[in-house]
Structure 1
Amino acid sequence: MKNKSTLSIITCLLLCISAQKGFSQLKGDRLLGGIGLDAGSQAPAETFSLLVPLYFYDASSLKNANGNKIAEPNFNMFITGVGGSYVSSLKILGANYGASVLLPFAQNRIQGNNVDSKSSFAYSDTYLQPFQLGWKTKVADVVFSYGMYIPTGKYEFGGSSNAGLGMFTNEFQTGTTLRLDPKGSISFSSLFSYEIHNDKKGTDIKPGDILSIEGGLGKTWYTFNGSKIPSSIIKAGAVYYMQFKTSNDELPAPAIITPYANSIYLPGKDHVYSAGLEGNILLTKSRMLFGLRWFDEFSAVNRFQGNTFFVTIAHVFSTASKKKAE
């Protein structure tokens, strides 16, 4: 019996030492749930939006390759910050050019399947989208963009208080919003985002590529207060997201030992699905936007599963000249 136990331990160690890929589920930069009903649309031309996002994620379980619960981490992540989004009147290939930036602060930023990870509130990784094109027709909107996640947050290999993921990430996006009725009050949207990651700082660790799909089916209502111009625009409906790891993480054998001792390594690629609800209102006089999304995850494989809440508070500025506005 003793020899069999020793042999089992040696076998496990040899597997760890020889493993090069596929035995970790490292997270990407994209925050699922950050976009919903208007996923495939660009904001109106000649506007600048200043926004404050509030992102909450509650991980209630950790699922294995069979979708079975293997841990109950009771793990919570919170991210907020200040963002800005600009859409110009400049036309490129018939589309309006836009750009955006997000300066985030995070608490308990998820690095991987670490059930004991905790970190204090600190500045995280900067998101910059220097290039976005948006097309609008009577029946549909189309967007295409390139963005990058810059590793500005604190990151130390194996550290317990990391606020960032320690890697530069390229993100390519394309999507559409389809108007399903003549008035355009009912719409369905989808946005496809593809992340390509570089190595983490000071390591040969490289998370696999990730595909995320987000959107929703919604309806728009207009309220009037004695004027032809709506006093508010309300939009509500069902939203969804799904995410798939499309290539294995690259994790050299030495990285498996000690630095991630609290992590659970799961072979294969991870994925998750989610469905929820969204409601938002734009007050046209004050140009204030308030939005709330809730998602319930299901059918997770090799990753956390839980609930996502996303609150948006924004002010929309018009950048059109006074003469043109008149």
Structure 2
Amino acid sequence: MNLGGKESEVVSKDCVPSSFAVFCLVMTIWTMIAPGKAQVRGVYPLGMTATNSGVTPEPGFTYSNAFLFYSRDHLKGANGEVVATGQNSVLMDMNSFVWVSKKKIGMLGSPVYSFVATLPIANNSLTSNAQGAISGGGGFADSYYQPFILGWKTKRVDARAIYGFLAPTGRFDASSNSNVGSGYWTHCVAGGESFYLTDNKATSISAFELYEFHGVQEGTGIHPGQALNLDYSLMHTVPLKSDLRLQLGLVGYQQWQTTDKSGPTITPDQAKAHYRVNSLGFASNVMLPARKVSLGLKYFREFSNRSTLQGYSLQISAAVSF
């Protein structure tokens, strides 16, 4: 929901289970009222890499499908005040394909190489309490590619270094209110770490950091501000049976706009209105290692946001390795 301009929302998926937490999945959903007036989110799907952030899957091919639902009902001002109400919802079906090499690279600490391609289908809608239905759209959205992922594994720490880019493959028209694409390229650099507090790796603290370098939007000349993202979690794994593990814990995320937005229609006040997002929630993963199958659930509730929308997110995923 954006009652004064345009929302840029990327939603991706971190395949929740440890067997597929290799990548940050990114796709863009734009709810558009007046092109280029207000940027209220970055492109990273907040929270999607909160668990098992440093884990690289086993060598081979993995397919993941994620169902993502984002709902927001308040637009917050620069001081956290509510400036508009309504309903913004984003529904996505994410199809991700991951390949992990069997061989380690003979330098830089002998990491493992992998890459990911994510092809999303999305549907979004925006309704104002004062104006009724405003915008909506559905179809193939912006695709995300991570051609360079290096993963390290030690006794107490797993880590990953990532480069990826978001391609504007989704439908975008600056004069339309039914867009499902962003209309610009985004380059991302990221790092993920999982620290194990016990020798059996049952208890872990994970963190994921991602920085967004946005391009200029086609048709509007708007250059969105860059953004820094942080996901984190505290998780504990319980073995239920010989081939069944349950992982439970607390999760959270934060996002900061780090530079001013700019463009021919951006006012000085809009340029300086940097958004900030905060959230806490819980997560659970069910893993069947022998079958190479995993299922995951995450729930996040946002709070104390600034210059952006506020609501909650429900994320359900499943992954299988071959």
TM tier relative to shorter chain: 0.7 to 0.9
| Residue 218 (structure 2) pairs with residue 192 (structure 1) | no
Task: Give the partner amino acid of 1:79.
Answer: M
1:187 Cα deviation after fit? 0.3
| Residue 183 (structure 2) pairs with residue 166 (structure 1) | yes
| Residue 36 (structure 2) pairs with residue 31 (structure 1) | no
1:267 Cα deviation after fit? 4.4
Aligned to 1:301: 306
Cα shift readout 1:220-243 (whole Å, capped 9, x = no counterpart): 12233xxxxx31122110011100
Paired residues for 1:243-282 under 5 Å: 243-253=255-265, 267-282=272-287
What TM-score does the superposition give when structure 2 sets the normalisation length?
0.81
Task: Give the partner amino acid of 1:303.
Answer: T
Aligned to 1:227: none
1:157 Cα deviation after fit? 0.8
| Residue 73 (structure 2) pairs with residue 60 (structure 1) | yes
Change beyond 3 A, Cα 1:232–1:166: same
Paired residues for 1:1-326 under 5 Å: 24-44=38-58, 46-92=59-105, 93=108, 94-108=110-124, 117-224=134-241, 230-253=242-265, 267-317=272-322
Q: Percent identity?
A: 30
Aligned to 1:11: none
1:118 Cα deviation after fit? 2.7
SS of structure 1 residue aligned to 2:119: strand
Task: Give the partner amino acid of 1:100.
Answer: V
Structure holding more helix per residue: 1
For 1:214 and 1:29, how far apart are their aligned partners in 2? 14
1:48 Cα deviation after fit? 1.9
Give the ranges of 4+ consecutive aligned residues of structure 1 lying more than 3 Å apart after TM superposition: 114-117, 264-267
Cα shift readout 1:34-75 (whole Å, capped 9, x = no counterpart): 22221222223x132201111100102110011011111221
Cα shift readout 1:123-157 (whole Å, capped 9, x = no counterpart): 00000000100101111111101001000000011
- 8 Å contact kept, 1:87–1:98: yes
Moved more, 86-95 or 306-315: 86-95
Task: Give the partner amino acid of 1:73.
Answer: G
Task: Give the partner amino acid of 2:49.
Answer: I
1:183 Cα deviation after fit? 1.7
For 2:200 and 2:292, how far apart are their aligned partners in 1? 23
Cα shift readout 1:184-206 (whole Å, capped 9, x = no counterpart): 11000001000001111133111
SS of structure 2 residue aligned to 1:55: strand
Q: Which runs of 5+ in 2 are unaligned?
A: 1-35
- 8 Å contact kept, 2:71–2:311: yes
For 2:277 and 2:287, how far apart are their aligned partners in 1? 31
For 1:115 and 1:176, how far apart are their aligned partners in 2? 44
What TM-score does the superposition give when structure 1 sets the normalisation length?
0.80
- 8 Å contact kept, 2:116–2:146: yes
Change beyond 3 A, Cα 1:305–1:89: same
Q: Which runs of 5+ in 1 are unaligned?
A: 1-21, 225-229, 257-263, 318-326
For 2:125 and 2:52, how far apart are their aligned partners in 1? 26
SS of structure 2 residue aligned to 1:107: strand
SS of structure 1 residue aligned to 2:86: coil
Task: Give the partner amino acid of 1:240.
Answer: G
- 8 Å contact kept, 1:295–1:309: yes
1:115 Cα deviation after fit? 9.5
For 1:284 and 1:198, how far apart are their aligned partners in 2? 41
